[in-house]
Structure 1
């Protein structure tokens, strides 16, 4: 854990690629070699505005983390979705080197979260190969400042991988 930020850091070999046939394919630049550090998809983000905390986000899901946290941030700040909807919305994971976009359709507590047909049609019209039903590919923890009150924070734990809140 970083002593200055408290952010948990990766200390496992999972960040490296190995030369085996997988979907998606491994990244040769990330193969295990002496004196190399793994390329990491960890992307904890702290968002400030005028020096004031606005949001903190992080996630799990390996190479899918950057897409997941980017979508949550855009959902909340650009699309003006509430924190829960921002996290729970269906996600898209582009694999640019193969022109494949993974998408999630999932259910949680009886509610079905589905990628909108209009979005799917648009992506297909741009020649993206859409691949779904791979199960949850990522999960996020999102903490945002609520309104103008600097002391009120709202935390949302993604349920995709069995997450639940724990704290005080």
Structure 2
């Protein structure tokens, strides 16, 4: 693997993790699922040298109600697709989806511009349409965004508002509240 959320040593050590990864686990930057997925991907790579996994990057997993999202490198979905069933079976996951990370930055939690934030939100609310995004300044000194999304009567967002907000926060380190407006 080109990149993993854990160090290679921890991914290969069958449950033992170094101080650095332990620290990241305690702060929530790394999850047990990230470690388990890294371990399985390395096993697949070693058992299948022609798999092209050595050219791929896995950055993070995001757990939702009945779905797990893997954040992978741009253009690498086809490399991971053959291994979805194996990952799902070994980790007892219902459904696995991929999000391709668009930036080369190794820091997923880096702040992004408002334009990039609009693009991320717009990608996740389809078939809904993002009609506006407002920055809210909170009394605590923090800020968050409110995204207004139109959906046609009878259509639904691809995920619950709560799950969409969670994914967007995980990917952008920005709190976005989604407000839906039903239109004819």
TM over 0.5: no
| TM-score, scaled relative to structure 2 | 0.28
Q: 1 or 2, which has the higher helix percentage?
A: 2
Higher relative contact order (CA 8 A, sep 6+): 1
| TM-score, scaled relative to structure 1 | 0.30
